[in-house]
Amino acid sequence: MARRETPEINAGSMADIAFLLLIFFLVTTTMDVDSGIARKLPEKPPPGYKPPILKEKNVFEVNINRNNQFLVEGEYLNIDQIKETAKKFINNGGGTDEEGNECTWCTGEKDPRSSDHPSKAIISIQSDRATNYGPFIAVQNELEAAYTELRDELGLKLYGKTYTALVKDLLNDKKNEDLKKKIEDIKNKYPQIISEAEPTQ
């Protein structure tokens, strides 16, 4: 018996089906990449822990009040001034670290009234409970920027490449021990010590 040829299946509606799927995915998925300012909270102190006594000159105090104004080391500052002031404070290097070594990489003014050493320089952020979140993040960002800029400068001086560039290189080449060591070195020279004190009522 002669077989009848099967007619070709109409594929015209294929596009419609695919479009339907496409629209479904467009609606149910999001494309945003979550990004933000990374912070590490301090560990909970053991009971009976006494906080160490710090010299006032080693603490850089940033206060934010409920009108979103900034008081930095007893002075009203604008948001764009915070970064420079913080950099000056961290980079001062007026004294020695715990082991009595001087900060040889600091390019600051060596003012005896400002911080002794980057490893001793502490930034304390104190905010009111009623402060808005936006200005709070702005301050966090400026302080982060101060550290990044100092690290960048040091990276350029020591290794001929900014810290940011080194970190980016490491992402492409995760097993490069040499690169890791360089980054650790810069990090240790400008350690980020930011304390977020409990807000005032």
List of residues contacting another protein (CB under 8 A): 11-12, 14-15, 17-19, 21-22, 25-26, 28-31, 33-44, 64, 68, 79, 127-138, 140-142, 144-145, 148, 196, 198-199
Return the number of the residue (91 or 131) whose C-beta is nearest another protein: 131
Residue 145 contacts by C-beta under 8 Å, 6 or more apart in sequence? 83
What is the smallest separation between the CB atom of 194 and another protein, expressed in angstroms?
A: 12
Min dist CB 79 to another protein, Å, is 7
* Nearest distance from C-beta of residue 88 to another protein, angstroms: 19
* Pick 48 or 160: Cβ nearer another protein: 48
Task: Report how far residue 195's alpha carbon sits from residue 193's, in angstroms, rounded to the nearest whole number.
Answer: 7
Looking at the Cβ atoms of 103 and 150, the one nearer to another protein is: 150
Q: Which residue lies nearer to another protein by CB, 79 or 156?
A: 79
Closest distance to another protein from the beta carbon of 87 (Å): 14
Q: How deeply is 70 buried, as exposed, middle or buried, from its count of CB atoms within 10 A (0-12, 13-18, 19+)?
A: buried
Nearest to another protein of 145, 170 (CB atom): 145
3-state SS track over 66-131: CCCCEEECCEEECHHHHHHHHHHHHCCCCCECCCCCECCCCCCCCCCCCCCCCCCCEEEEEEECCC
Of 115, 146, 113, give the one whose Cα is nearest residue 103.
115
Q: CB nearer to another protein: give 110 or 165.
A: 165
Write down the least CB distance from residue 78 to another protein, Å: 10
Residue type at 68 in one-letter notation: N
Cβ at position 41, least distance to another protein in Å: 4
Q: Which residues pair with 96 in a beta bridge?
A: 102
Decide if 182 contacts 189 (C-beta within 8 A): no
